[in-house]
Amino acid sequence: MPARTSYGTYEEERRHFMTTLHAQIDILQDNHKGSGKMVINSLSLLLLRIEGLRIAGQARYTYHNPNWTAKCNKLYERVQYFKDALVKDPTSNYRVAADIESMMIFLDFCVPADIEYRISPDRGDRSGAPSPEPRR
């Protein structure tokens, strides 16, 4: 299987990964004929995208973050486990769907730039503001 050579931005990689993985839950729960094979193929493609997610996420840090690499390696192991479970036991659709769903609840893809609330530069330096406490 050829390796994926070009990667998107962190947001693109994360969005693609999360939406594709979430779609697999519905496909597995529907349990139509051939859905297991379709999910196995999708998980194979997601395994290729984890490297892009790792590279794009690592680029958000100003230093090499081994925790980010470890998090992506763990994610790779989990997706590989889901794929292997479906290959070995074609009747495990509901169990794998539940496992994916519970993993997604605890999936944390936060890098420093993801923080929603940031003090805007136009707010000025608040360190010189007077203290609200009364002076003695």
Cβ atoms of 104 and 21 closer than 8 Å = yes
Model confidence, pTM? 0.72
Q: From CA 121, how far away is CA 135, in angstroms rounded?
A: 30
User: Considering the domain boundaries, does residue 31 fall inside one?
Assistant: yes
User: Considering the domain boundaries, does residue 1 fall inside one?
Assistant: no
User: Considering the domain boundaries, does residue 47 fall inside one?
Assistant: yes
Cβ atoms of 65 and 58 closer than 8 Å = yes
Number of domains, the chain: 1
Nearest to 110 by CA among 77, 71, 73: 71
Angle value at C-alpha 58, between 70 and 125, nearest 5 degrees: 120
In sequence order, the 6+-apart residues with CB closer than 8 A to the CB of 86 are 36, 39, 40, 43, 92, 93, 96
What's the mean pLDDT in 3-25? 80
Per residue in 88-128, pLDDT (tens digit) is: 998 999 999 999 998 888 776 655 555 443 444 444 445 55
Burial class from Cβ neighbours inside 10 Å (0-12, 13-18, 19+) for residue 76 reads: middle
Nearest to 56 by CA among 67, 33, 39, 72: 72
Cβ atoms of 39 and 86 closer than 8 Å = yes
Domain residues for 36? 10-109
Highest mean pLDDT out of 33-37, 44-48, 62-66: 44-48
User: Considering the domain boundaries, does residue 46 fall inside one?
Assistant: yes
User: Considering the domain boundaries, does residue 3 fall inside one?
Assistant: no
The pLDDT assigned to 57 comes to 87
